[in-house]
């Protein structure tokens, strides 16, 4: 039976996390969107500009986090007023110059759609309208949206591709300032079509969402069955493991409460400990802490009348000062702990991990499956790695499905045989196994790993869903530590970059592959959701919006041409088209993401690094709106996403097979 999304805990006490939800936020403009990114909010990659100039973005937030974002301009999209674009006075501005940068149509399983990108010499002040004519007498009109990022005007586009009835053939872009431009409409993605598969080509090998243990067994099994075509690589850096220190909260937060934390992990004895606070029942008794077996007893101090007088701060200090105790204590969050503690019955410590006992609590090994006929460094290498973000359950299915197709079809499919003879493929199904386990068994919205770098005031158990490092912000190129936007130094942030670059074994493992196997020239980082295809630069500095160096025009052309070919393979599976406005450098089509892995692979190793965001929006023909799929869609949808992006990954391997050093 396949794993299903875990149910967030319902807050009921001082040790229970505040429930989090996946919501759509609305901000009034792009500047407010930039404030959200800079705040470290847990944003998804699904960002949608609106016709009125506002921006909608999906995010994972608790109620208190949402309230903290409201001063930045964020509201729930359901609360945001729906207002039309502001009309501008046509006569007030001189005639502007319009440049149509891209006008394309595509046909998907949902019909024909039009996408247009243009710019005006009046910049964001321009009001642009697109009208079009198409086959069978079809026509239409739609408003464009100004795209402004970090104060810089990047052009106008549709908020989403618009339904066109039939194939659009020509467009006219008209400005309220009097400018006008015309263009023919080209087809998208218009890349090289996939090779025709042989009769009997095998695919469709994933049948459920898979936990890290299941993924590891799958790659081990592939290695056992195809020993002449594979190597199994155990990456050198073990992760922290699916484990935490056991904790208990004694008293009533905030003033009269103490957080007790075991020295040992819960699975290594911490869960066996208990702590009690007792009234000695006599006057003038000192505050004392002692251990009897697995029970820590704190005898509270009394005054001359026998009244209890020990404050929370004093209790925490007494526990920490007592010799031989297997626990440490702190006051609750930032409260000074001046409240007087009351007796508390023996409370057992808990690591609050809910996975079955057969889920390992040991540091985890991360595996890579190397596939190819010549695995000696003589062939062009391709690295595919998934699930840096724990909650993205579809992404490892993409990697596993691609591996299965390559190996099972080698004997009978000429095109597959060519791929394995000409390339050297490295597949890492799950970069972040600890976080993935936590997502499956404890908190399905977990993004980060499970290493807690927070100080005691941010480490009581009710905050446990906010701990961890965003693995895809922990790399060295363009990091937050170097002043780039899109990562956070707040340990509770969804985009926390860690205490230092490469502080986490998960990021070190990825870079070890690049450093060890210098024949790797291509990499695909598989993420979800939103339907993007991106490449460097992925980050910029806020002052002046200075991006990491842009690729040369020739390199940019190679990135784009390759993307169009890969997207042809994706659309061939079930008609899903990656929108042209979501195909391009990260800083152009999404937002700044400081310290991401594709940037380090490109800038430090010269590896063409791409990012998939699987899970493109689905068109609802009844509401005539594009709708999101989420991180863990019903498996029927997740399965389809895995099929189409596995085809895209194999197309990338085909590009590598034809690659020669440029």
Q: Following DSSP, what letter does each residue of 594-637 receive, concatenated?
A: TT-HHHHHHHHH--EEEEEEEEEPEEETTTTEEE---SS--HHH
Rounded distance, CA 79 to CA 81, Å? 6
Lowest mean pLDDT among 136-150, 186-200, 287-301, 416-430: 186-200
Burial code of 46-69, b = ≥16 C-beta within 10 A, e = fewer?
Answer: bbbbbbbbbbbbbbbbbeebbeeb
Residue 84: per-residue pLDDT: 52
pTM: 0.94
Residue 195: per-residue pLDDT: 77
Residue 445: per-residue pLDDT: 97
Q: What is the pLDDT of residues 321-366, one digit of tens each?
A: 999 999 999 999 999 999 999 999 999 999 999 999 999 999 999 9
State whether residue 584 is helix, strand or coil. Answer: strand
Residue 52: per-residue pLDDT: 84
pLDDT bucket at 416, cuts 50 / 70 / 90: very high
Residue spans of the domains in the chain: they are 21-76, 98-187, 212-241+360-658, 245-348
The structure tokens 């002046």 sit at 544
647 pLDDT exceeds 60? yes
Residue 193: per-residue pLDDT: 84
Which residues touch 355 (CB under 8 Å, ≥6 apart)?
Answer: 242, 437, 440, 441, 442
Instruction: Report, in this order, helix, strand and coil percent for the chain, each rounded to 5.
Output: 25, 30, 45
| Residue 547, beta-bridge partner list | 540
Q: Is 308 in contact with 239 (CB distance < 8 Å)?
A: no
Q: What is the pLDDT of residues 87-114, one digit of tens each?
A: 444 444 568 999 999 999 999 988 999 9
State whether residue 645 is helix, strand or coil. Answer: helix
Averaged pLDDT for residues 8-12: 44
544 pLDDT exceeds 90? no
Averaged pLDDT for residues 8-18: 69
Q: For the chain, give me the number of helices (H) and strands (E)?
A: 12, 33
Q: Hey, what are 99's tokens?
A: 């440049």
Residue 520: per-residue pLDDT: 98
CA R_g for the chain: 28
Q: What is the pLDDT of residues 422-438, one digit of tens each?
A: 999 999 999 999 999 99
Q: What is the pLDDT of residues 574-602, one digit of tens each?
A: 999 999 999 999 999 999 999 999 999 99
Residue 224: per-residue pLDDT: 98
DSSP character for 502? T
Rounded distance, CA 258 to CA 298, Å? 12
Which residues touch 646 (CB under 8 Å, ≥6 apart)?
Answer: 203, 397, 398, 399, 401, 402, 405
Residue 51: per-residue pLDDT: 82
Residue 430: per-residue pLDDT: 98
Q: Hey, what are 2's tokens?
A: 């396949």
Fold topology of 98-187: Immunoglobulin-like (2.60.40)
Q: What is the pLDDT of residues 40-91, one digit of tens each?
A: 999 998 999 888 889 999 999 999 999 999 999 999 998 877 655 444 444 4
Residue 30: per-residue pLDDT: 85
DSSP states along 237-302: -----S--EEEEEEEETTTEEEEEEEEEEGGGTGGG-EEEEE--SSSSPPPEEEEETTEEEEE--B
pLDDT bucket at 661, cuts 50 / 70 / 90: low
Cβ count within 10 A of residue 20 = 23
Domain 212-241+360-658 has CATH 3.40.50.450: no
Percent of the chain with pLDDT over 90: 88
pLDDT bucket at 12, cuts 50 / 70 / 90: low
5 pLDDT exceeds 80? no
Of 23, 18, 14, 73, residue with least CA distance to 44? 23
Residue 102: per-residue pLDDT: 95
Of 106, 210, 189, 217, residue with least CA distance to 639? 210
Per the rule left: phi > 0, alpha: psi between -120 and 50, beta: everything else, 489 is alpha
* CATH class held by domain 21-76: alpha beta
Q: Hey, what are 88's tokens?
A: 């501008």
| Helix (H) / strand (E) containing 556 | helix 553-574
Residue 8: per-residue pLDDT: 40
Q: Hey, what are 599's tokens?
A: 């940037």
Q: What is the pLDDT of residues 456-490, one digit of tens each?
A: 999 999 999 999 999 999 999 999 999 999 999 99
User: What amino acid positions are annotated as catalytic residues?
Assistant: 613
Residue 13: per-residue pLDDT: 81
| Residue 369, beta-bridge partner list | 232, 427
503 pLDDT exceeds 60? yes
151 pLDDT exceeds 70? yes
pLDDT bucket at 9, cuts 50 / 70 / 90: very low
662 pLDDT exceeds 90? no
pLDDT bucket at 562, cuts 50 / 70 / 90: very high
- Dihedral (C-alpha) 605, 237, 352, 265: value to the nearest 10 degrees? -150
Q: Is 206 in contact with 583 (CB distance < 8 Å)?
A: no
Q: Hey, what are 386's tokens?
A: 């998934």
The structure tokens 């015309």 sit at 182
Residue 94: per-residue pLDDT: 66
280 pLDDT exceeds 60? yes
Q: Is 618 in contact with 374 (CB distance < 8 Å)?
A: no
Residue 53: per-residue pLDDT: 83
2 pLDDT exceeds 80? no
Q: What is the pLDDT of residues 618-637, one digit of tens each?
A: 999 999 999 999 999 999 99
Q: What is the pLDDT of residues 373-403, one digit of tens each?
A: 999 999 999 999 999 999 999 999 999 999 9
Averaged pLDDT for residues 180-199: 89
Q: What is the pLDDT of residues 215-274, one digit of tens each?
A: 999 999 999 999 999 999 999 999 999 999 999 999 999 989 999 999 999 999 999 999
Averaged pLDDT for residues 483-501: 97
């Amino acid at each position: 039976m396949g794993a299903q999304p875990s149910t967030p805990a319902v807050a009921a006490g001082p040790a229970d996390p505040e429930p989090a939800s996946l919501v759509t936020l609305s901000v009034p403009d792009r500047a407010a969107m930039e404030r959200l990114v800079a705040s470290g909010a847990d944003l998804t990659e699904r960002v949608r500009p609106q016709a009125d100039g506002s921006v909608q973005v999906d995010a994972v937030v608790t109620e208190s986090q949402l309230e903290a974002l409201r001063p930045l301009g964020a509201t729930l999209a359901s609360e945001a007023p729906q207002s039309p674009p502001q009309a501008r006075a046509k006569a007030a501005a001189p005639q502007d110059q319009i440049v149509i940068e891209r006008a394309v149509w595509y046909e998907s399983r949902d019909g024909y759609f039009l996408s247009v990108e243009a710019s005006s010499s009046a910049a964001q002040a321009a009001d642009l309208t697109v009208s079009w004519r198409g086959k069978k007498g079809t026509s239409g009109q739609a408003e464009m949206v100004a795209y402004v990022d970090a104060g810089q005007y990047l052009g106008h586009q549709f908020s989403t591709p618009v339904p066109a009835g039939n194939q659009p053939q020509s467009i006219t872009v008209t400005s309220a300032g009097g400018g006008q431009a015309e263009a023919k409409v080209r087809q998208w993605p218009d890349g090289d079509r996939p090779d025709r598969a042989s009769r009997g080509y095998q695919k469709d090998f994933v049948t459920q969402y898979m936990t890290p243990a299941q993924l590891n067994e799958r790659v081990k099994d592939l290695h056992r069955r195809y020993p002449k075509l594979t190597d199994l690589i155990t990456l050198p850096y073990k992760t922290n493991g699916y484990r935490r220190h056991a904790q208990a909260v004694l008293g009533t937060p905030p003033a009269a409460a103490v957080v007790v934390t075991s020295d040992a992990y819960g699975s290594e004895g911490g869960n066996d400990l208990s702590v009690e606070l007792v009234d000695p029942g006599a006057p003038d008794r000192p505050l004392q802490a002692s251990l009897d077996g697995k029970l820590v007893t704190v005898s509270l101090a009394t005054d001359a009348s026998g009244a209890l007088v020990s404050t929370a701060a004093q209790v925490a200090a007494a526990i920490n000062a007592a010799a031989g105790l297997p626990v440490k204590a702190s006051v609750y969050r930032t409260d000074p702990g001046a409240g007087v503690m009351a007796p508390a019955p023996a409370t057992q410590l808990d690591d609050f991990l809910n996975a079955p006992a057969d889920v390992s609590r040991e540091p985890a090994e991360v595996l890579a499956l190397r596939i190819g006929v010549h695995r000696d460094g003589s062939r062009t290498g391709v690295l595919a790695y998934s699930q840096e973000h724990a909650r993205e359950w579809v992404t490892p299915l993409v990697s596993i499905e691609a591996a299965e197709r390559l190996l099972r079809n080698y004997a009978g499919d000429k095109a597959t045989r060519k791929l394995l003879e000409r390339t050297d493929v490295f597949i890492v199904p799950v970069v972040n196994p600890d976080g993935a386990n936590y997502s499956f068994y404890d908190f399905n919205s977990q993004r980060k790993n499970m290493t807690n770098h927070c100080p005691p005031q941010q480490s009581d158990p009710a905050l446990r869903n906010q701990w961890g490092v965003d693995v895809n912000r922990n790399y060295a190129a363009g990091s937050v530590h170097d002043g780039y936007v899109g990562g956070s130094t707040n340990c509770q942030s969804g985009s926390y970059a860690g205490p230092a670059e490469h502080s986490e074994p998960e990021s070190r493992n990825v870079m070890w592959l690049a450093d060890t196997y210098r024949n790797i020239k291509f990499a695909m980082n598989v993420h979800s959701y939103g339907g993007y295809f991106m490449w460097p630069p992925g980050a910029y500095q806020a002052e002046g919006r200075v991006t990491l160096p842009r690729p040369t025009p020739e390199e940019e052309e190679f990135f784009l041409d390759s993307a169009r070919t890969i997207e042809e393979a994706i659309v061939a599976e079930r008609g899903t088209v990656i929108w042209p406005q979501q195909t391009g450098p990260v800083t152009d089509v999404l937002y700044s993401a400081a310290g991401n892995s594709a940037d380090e692979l490109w800038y430090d190793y010269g590896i063409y690094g791409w990012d998939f965001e699987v899970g493109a929006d689905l068109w609802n023909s009844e509401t005539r709106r594009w709708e999101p799929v989420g991180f863990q869609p019903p498996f029927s949808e997740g399965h389809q996403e895995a099929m189409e992006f596995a085809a895209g990954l194999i197309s990338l391997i085909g590009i590598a097979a034809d690659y020669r050093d440029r």
